[in-house]
Amino acid sequence: MNISLNITKTITELLSGFMSEGAANIGAMVTIALIYLAIFAVAGLYLVLLERKIAAWFQLRLGPNRVGPWGLLQTMADALKLVSKELTGTVKADKFLFNLAPYFVIVSSLMALSVFPFTQEFQAFDINIGIFFLIAISSIGVIGILLGGWASNNKFALIGAMRSGVQTISYELSVGLSLLTMVLLTGTLQLSEIVEVQKNGWLIIQGHIPAVIAFMIYMIAGTAETNRAPFDMVEAESELGAGFHTEYSGMKFAYFFLAEFINMFIIAAIATTVFFGGWLSPFGITESIPWLGVFWFIGKTFMLVFLMMWFRWTFPRLRIDQLLTLEWKYLLPLNLLNIILMAVIVWLNLTIQF
Amino acid sequence: MSYFGDIYKGIKTLLTGMSVTGKYFLTSRKGAITQQYPDNRKTLKMFERFRGEVVMPHDENNEHRCTGCQKCELACPNGSIEIIWDRQIDPESGKKKKMIDQHIYHLGMCTMCGLCIEACPTDAIVWAQNFENSVYDRSYLTKVLNQPNSKLKAGVEE
Ligand code: SF4
Ligand code: SF4
């Protein structure tokens, strides 16, 4: 197998055969964006299916099994149905913002995907502030949620959006700090280099105690960041109808829905890259075949996605004050202590290296 | 130190919860409780305690156990049961006696509360487990529970 995995370079070279350099660059960007969009729209749909199946198994049910073999086409059919549906809105809605909100959410989550190294060199956009970029992008999504809730002129939507604001702003802090803890260990923000560093052992092993604590905090805060149960104050079906997207229908609703699942994938993918060695195989067993890295990356990510689904179908929802207590009284102080612990460990060279 | 104690307790209870659901997840293949109705219509067996409708069982001699005492009619909170009775000569003893003519049951009005069945002193009526009760006309829901020409089983009244 000698396929070049550096897709950006390959496509640019291909295009520059018959274009000027500037046009080739832009052409390559557009092509890659379209490829990613297609792949992740479908992947998002299958994540929804996976969630429904796993939820069913947790509850001793069967899950969707009517459309296609084992229900594999169920979410495709759902998406088709949503596309064909009427886009409704409230009378006094702020039309411009109302229509803008879903795009904010979906675009910000798709943008974050561009920086992940799926395997060696298979990365659309390798910037040297990777982690920083991810944290920044992942908090733009909340603007979409706030806009949607505000513009739809509905009390439930507004309350849901405000809760989302409170929640994301609080937990953003924990996500950032727990990733910073790991950056202390790697000494770089660039995702491809973070993976390089882990050739001497995955960071969760290199950093042992503080790394495990950071991972736990990251998973809790990450789950909160995606607004999933047990932190789904934003949608709280029993209190708020459907929360911020109560007034959305058809494809615009589908964007919110898809974004939630892509965000879950992103949170799991960040954890994979930062804690579990990204595309590196355990003990380097498939080091000679670079394209297998994709398999390892996806495999680890899905393990973590499964963990988040496990959370969702086990824990009851928190009240808003419990939610804030958890963040400000427990996660944040622990996180700060953890950073100091990690700094001491790095300083005294107590990391475990293979 | 209760701060760290709380954290420890929190994590422990969360893990307990996850282990419970995890066990369910692993055994879900064997024990899915979903009934794939109507695919399994032939083999579906409803649970004994399921309340489908009130019926009056008859034995092979077309005999039931209802004495016409009307206790079920009185017990029913919404008048779903009507007993039509009269006094007839009992062929065996030759005496006049209260006898049931029709035990009319309005399935459409029944709330499945079960008070009639509990009130019946001779256990003449019981729950049936069928649930496919939809019909095209409301009048089909009014049923006569005792079969035509049926009679009271001997010895029930003693
Ligand atoms: S189950 Fe309740 S509502 Fe139905 S007939 Fe008996 S007493 Fe009446
Ligand atoms: S069904 Fe039972 S309670 Fe009702 S009239 Fe007959 S014997 Fe009496």
Tell me how many residue pairs between chain A and chain B have CB atoms under 8 A apart: 39
- Mean pLDDT within A304-329: 87
Count the helices and strands in chain B (H runs, E runs): 3, 7
Q: Does B149 touch chain A (CB under 8 A)?
A: no
Q: How far is CA A76 from the centre of its chain?
A: 21
Going by C-alpha positions, the residue among A274, A110, A304, A113 that lies closest to residue A190 is A274
Rounded CA gap, B6 and B59, in Å?
A: 66
Going by C-alpha positions, the residue among B62, B158, B57, B60 that lies closest to residue B117 is B57
Tokens of residue B84, six digits: 């039509």
pLDDT tens by residue, A226-285: 888 788 777 777 777 777 888 888 888 888 888 888 888 888 988 888 888 878 777 767
- Secondary structure, 3-state, chain A: CCCCCCHHHHHHHHHHCCCCHHHHHHHHHHHHHHHHHHHHHHHHHHHHHHHHHHHHHHCCCCCCCCCCHHHCCHHHHHHHHHHCCCCCCCCCCCHHHHHHHHHHHHHHHHHHHCCCCCECCECCCCCCCHHHHHHHHHCCHHHHHHHHHHHCCCHHHHHHHHHHHHHHHHHHHHHHHHHHHHHHHHCCCCHHHHHHHHHHCCHHHHCHHHHHHHHHHHHHHHHHHCCCCCCHHHCCHHHHCCHHHCCCCHHHHHHHHHHHHHHHHHHHHHHHHHHCCCCCCHHHCCCCCCCHHHHHHHHHHHHHHHHHHHHHCCCCCCCHHHHHHHHHHHHHHHHHHHHHHHHHHHHCCCCCCC
pLDDT band at residue A1 under the 50/70/90 scheme: very low
Instruction: Tell me which residue has its CA closest to atom 4 in ligand 2.
Output: B72
Residue B31 is predicted with a pLDDT of 67
The domain locations on chain B are 2-40, 53-152
A123-132, A209-218, A246-255: which has the highest mean pLDDT? Answer: A209-218
Residue A132 is predicted with a pLDDT of 87
Q: Does B148 touch chain A (CB under 8 A)?
A: no
Residue A7 is predicted with a pLDDT of 67
Give the containing element (helix H, strand E) for B118: helix B115-119
In angstroms, the first-to-last Cα distance of chain A is: 29
Nearest bound ligand to the CA of residue B101: 2
Label residue A32 exposed, middle or buried (CB < 10 Å: 0-12, 13-18, 19+): middle
- Chain B: residue nearest A217 by CA? B11
Query: In this structure, are residues A57 and B33 in contact, taking their beta carbons and an 8 Å threshold?
Result: no
Question: What is the dotted CATH code of the domain comprising B53-152?
Answer: 3.30.70.3270
Chain B residues near residue A59 by CB distance under 8 angstroms: 24
pLDDT tens by residue, B42-91: 888 888 889 989 999 998 888 888 888 889 999 999 999 999 888 877 77
Backbone angles phi, psi at B44, to 5 degrees: -60, 130
A interface test, pick of B4, B15, B24, B25 with most A CB neighbours within 10 Å? B25
Rounded CA gap, A130 and A194, in Å?
A: 10
Residue A312 is predicted with a pLDDT of 87
pLDDT band at residue A5 under the 50/70/90 scheme: low
ipTM of the predicted structure? 0.74
Find residue B53's DSSP bridge partners.
Answer: B128
* Site residues for ligand 2, CB cut-off 6 Å: B 66-72, 83, 119-120, 122, 124-125
Is there a contact between B31 and A60 if contact means CB atoms under 8 Å apart?
Answer: yes
Query: In this structure, are residues A67 and A73 in contact, taking their beta carbons and an 8 Å threshold?
Result: yes
pLDDT tens by residue, B97-145: 778 888 999 999 999 999 999 999 988 999 998 888 889 998 999 999 9
Is there a contact between B33 and A310 if contact means CB atoms under 8 Å apart?
Answer: no
Is there a contact between A314 and B21 if contact means CB atoms under 8 Å apart?
Answer: yes
The count of C-alpha atoms lying within 13 angstroms of the C-alpha of A289, restricted to the half-sphere facing its C-beta, is 9
- The pTM score is 0.80
Going by C-alpha positions, the residue among A353, A331, A318 that lies closest to residue A216 is A331
Nearest bound ligand to the CA of residue B56: 2
Q: What is the DSSP letter of B93?
A: T
Largest CA distance in chain A: 64
Tokens of residue A32, six digits: 């890659």
Residue B119 is predicted with a pLDDT of 93
Q: How far is CA B157 from the centre of its chain?
A: 24
The domain locations on chain A are 1-84, 89-347
Q: Does B34 touch chain A (CB under 8 A)?
A: yes
Query: In this structure, are residues B56 and B146 in contact, taking their beta carbons and an 8 Å threshold?
Result: yes
Chain A residues near residue B25 by CB distance under 8 angstroms: 54, 57-58, 310
Rounded CA gap, B62 and B60, in Å?
A: 5
- Mutation pick for ligand 2 pocket among B64, B70, B86 (CB with most ligand atoms within 8 Å): B70
pLDDT tens by residue, A321-354: 888 888 888 889 999 999 999 889 888 887 777 7
Going by C-alpha positions, the residue among A164, A72, A145 that lies closest to residue A105 is A145
Residue B104 is predicted with a pLDDT of 92
Catalogue the long-range contacts made by A234-238 (C-beta closer than 8 Å, 24 or more residues apart). Answer: A234/A145, A234/A160, A234/A161, A234/A163, A234/A164, A234/A167, A235/A160, A236/A160, A236/A163, A236/A317
